[in-house]
Amino acid sequence: MHTIEPYFKWRDYYTAESDERSPFFGRSYDEFGFTNAIYDYLIHPQWDDFGSQTLYMKILWIDYSKKYAIIEFIGEWNDVLYNDIMNLKRNIVDHLNKEGIFKYILIGDNVLNFHADDDSYYQEWNEDVAEENGWIVCLNLLEHVMEEMIEYHLDYYLKIDDELNNLDWRVMKPDYLFAIIDKYLEIKSIE
């Protein structure tokens, strides 16, 4: 797992550590020292810790004028043992909401497992963004992760479906990805 880096092709245009409004502003990274781990597996030092023991993240892009963020995850999303959604909501999302971010693209290519528990933080997050006509979209979840999220009815709060899940986001620029998702959700809301 130590060789899996966060997506890096947009780094010439945005990095959370150089964004004064980001919760990771000022963070520095040691490219040679591997300190974070998921269970016994070291992970690449570019991933950011937000308070979870098994899930790490990287804010790949924020556009404050369009009010959206793209966040990539790696690890095991475990609400049962570690209340990962609470850590994400309190340590990252609440900060971004205060900065005017109400549309979230969550990338789950590297989320290896998901363990659901209470849905109250998902509900709270959904209510926060709904007040501003926002949304929370999940992309590229592994099939069993998507099934578990749907089984626990998190698709009521998160936009999860096969079309979004198969979006080839890596070949797009951030604004184009955002525009496709925003238009797709607008069309789905009319149907």
pTM attached to this predicted model? 0.97
- Domain extent listing, the chain: 47-190
Q: Which residues contact 176 (CB under 8 A, 6 or more apart)?
A: none
Asked if residue 31 has pLDDT above 90, the reply is: no
Backbone angles phi, psi at 44, to 5 degrees: -60, 140
What's the pLDDT tens digit per position in 164-173?
A: 999 999 999 9
Within 95-160, strands assigned E span: 103-115, 135-139
Mean pLDDT (the chain) is 95
Question: Which helix (H) or strand (E) element contains residue 130?
Answer: helix 120-130
What pLDDT, on a 0 to 100 scale, did the predictor assign at position 71? 98
The hierarchical CATH code for the domain 47-190 is: 3.30.750.24
Least confident of 20-29, 31-40, 108-117, 168-177: 31-40
Spatial contact of 30 and 45, defined as CB atoms under 8 Å apart: yes
What pLDDT, on a 0 to 100 scale, did the predictor assign at position 113? 97
pLDDT over 70 for what percent of the chain? 99
* pLDDT confidence bin for 190, thresholds 50/70/90: confident
